[in-house]
Chain A
Amino acid sequence: MDILQTLDAIWLARMPILHGLGNTILISLLSILMGTILGVVVGLLLTYGIGLVRLIVRLYSDFLRGTPVFVLILACFYILSVVGIQLSAFQAGVFALTLFCSSHVGEIVRGSLQAIPTGQTEAAKSIGLTFFGTFFSVLLPQALRMILPTWVNTATEIVKASTLLSIIGVVELLLSVQQVISRTYLSLELYFFAGFVFFLVNFTIEKVGRFVERKVALPT
C-alpha cells in the first residue's frame, strides 16, 4: 500500500470527490429534513388518528419499513416514470429516502408519545388544556427528549443509505471514489478512504446529537 500514491490520487481528484461529498450531504440533509417533517405527521396519525386514517398510515409505515431501501429507490426511479412522473435520478433518490426516513421517524414519534404515562394527559385535561395545548405544552417536550437519540440513529442510517443512489446514477461520495478507483486501481486504499469520510460525517451528526441531548436534558 503506497500511501503517497494514494494521497496523490485523492488530491488530483479532490474536486470531483468534494462534489460527491457535497451531493451526499445534500441528499442526506434534504431526506432527513423532509422525512422528519413527514414522519412527525405519520407518528401523530399513528397515535391519535382514528379508524381508516390510522389503518392507512399503519399500512404505509409497515410497508416502507418492510421494504429494502434499495428496492424503494429503484421503484421511485422506474415505477414513477412508467406512470408518467419523470423525476431526475437525484429527485427520485431523495424522494425514496424521504419516504424511508418518514416511516422510521413516524414509529419513533409514536413510541415516544405512547411511553408518556396517560396520567399526564388526564392531568392536563383536568386543568382545562385543549388537545393542542396538551400536546405542545405537556407531551411534546417530554417526547422530544426520548426521540432525539433514536432520531440521530435514523439520520446516520440515511447517510449510509444515500450510497445506494449510485445505482441510479447519482454521483455521490461513493460513486465519485469508485470513479477514481477505476482509473488508478487503488481499490483497497480508496474504499478505506471513502469509509473514513462516511465515518467522519456520521461522527459529526452523532456529536451534534449528543450536544443537543445535553442541552435539553432536565437538570438532575
Chain B
Amino acid sequence: MLNNLLRLGSTALVCGVLASAAHADKLQDVLDRGHLIAGTGSTNAPWHFMNESNELVGFDVDMLRLIAKGLFDDPDAIEFINQSGDARIPNLATDKVDVTCQFMTVTAGRAQQVEFTVPYYREGVGLMMMADGDYADYEALKAAGSGVTVSVLQNVYAEDMVHAALPEAKVDQYDSVDLIYQALNSGRADAAATDQSSLSWFMKQNPDRYADAGYGWNPQTYSCAVKPGDQRWLNFVNSVLHEAMTGVEFNTYAASFEGWFGVKLDPPKIGFPIEFK
C-alpha cells in the first residue's frame, strides 16, 4: 500500500517536473499572453506608489514598463500585481507574477530562492540637512562631533548605522519617516539619515529647502527578480535593463532617474563598452 502510494507520488512528481520542463519558456508564454504580469508594491515613494491621479508610478514601475516595451513595443502592455514586500518571493515561486521589481535588496540568501537580474540602482544611507542650517556638508557635521543630532528611523541597528558615518553624533530615533523630517524642520535634529532614494525624492518635492550632506554609506544593490530555472527569460530581462542603463533605452532610464531622484545622468561614453573598463 505504502509502496504503491510512493510510486504514485513519484510518478506524479516526475510528470510534474517533465511538464514544467516542457513549459519552462516564460518568454514565449508572456509573448503569447500579450501582456506582462509584473509584481510591485504601492506604498513606497519614489519606487512604487499611487500619485494624486491614483495611478501607479515610480522608478520600479518605470523599469517594469521598460520590460513591457521591450516585449510588445508598448509600455502599457502590463498588468500590475500589487504585493507587499513579504509577498515578493512567494509570488514568484507560485507563478503569480512573471517578474518582480520592488526595491529588492540582493542578498546571498535571497539569491538561493529567486534569480536576480543585473542591478538597476545602488541604494545607501544619506544625510539630509536644512539648506540654511549650521553645517555646510558631511565634513562639517563630522567635525562638530557630539554637538550634532541625527534623526533616524527606529531600528535595532539605527545607532550603529549613524555612528558608522558620524561616530560621536547624538542619535534620535523616530517611529516614521515623516517624523524624522519633522525633527529636522523643527531644529530638533541637524541632519536626517535614511535611504538616499527617499532623501532625493523628498528634496525634489521641496526644492531649495534642504541640502544633501554629500556622503553615502551602507551600500545595497537593487535588482529585479525572476523565478529560478529559466535562463532565457532571465537573459531577456537582463538585456532590457542593461540596455536601459547603457544602450538604446538610456534616455528613458535617465529621464526616469532624473524624475524620481532629481539627478541628471551622463550618457555612457561612446566607444569602448564601459562595462569592461
* Interface residues, chain A, with chain B CB atoms under 8 Å away: 12-13, 15-16, 74, 78, 81-82, 89, 166-169, 171, 175, 178-183, 185-188
Contacts and interface: CB of A to CB of B under 8 A. Distances in A.
A186 B178 CA distance: 7
Contact of A167 (B44, B87, B178): B87
A187 B176 contact: yes
Contacts of B94: 78, 81-82
Interface in B75-108: 81-84, 86-87, 90, 94-96
B42 interface: yes
Given A78-B94, A182-B43, A187-B178, A169 B54 contact: no
Contact of B49 (A81, A169, A183): A183
Contacts of B45: 182-183
Nearest to A168: B87
Contacts of B50: 16, 179-180, 182-183
A14 to B, nearest CB: 10
A185 B83 contact: no
Nearest 9 Cβ contacts at the A-B interface: A185-B178, A169-B82, A187-B176, A182-B43, A179-B50, A81-B94, A178-B43, A182-B49, A16-B54
B84 A169 contact: yes
Contacts of B154: none
A167 B86 contact: yes
Nearest to A16: B54
Nearest to A178: B43
A199 B96 CA distance: 34
A15 B54 contact: yes
Contacts of A183: 45, 49-52
A187 B95 CA distance: 33
Nearest to A169: B82
B59 interface: no
Given A16-B54, A183-B50, 17 more contacts: A74-B90, A78-B90, A81-B94, A81-B96, A166-B84, A169-B83, A175-B42, A178-B43, A179-B43, A179-B49, A182-B43, A182-B49, A185-B178, A186-B178, A187-B175, A187-B179, A188-B176
A15 B55 CA distance: 12
Contacts of B181: 185
Contacts of B255: none
Contacts of B54: 13, 15-16
Nearest to B48: A182
Given A169-B82, A185-B181, A187-B176, A12 B43 contact: no
B47 to A, nearest CB: 9
Contacts of B95: 81
A179 B55 CA distance: 11
A180 B51 CA distance: 9
A188 B177 CA distance: 11
Contacts of A81: 94-96
Contacts of B176: 185, 187-188
Contacts of A89: 82
A86 to B, nearest CB: 9
From B83, B95, B96, name the one whose CB has the most chain A CB atoms within 10 angstroms.
Answer: B96
Contacts of B44: 182
A187 B154 CA distance: 15
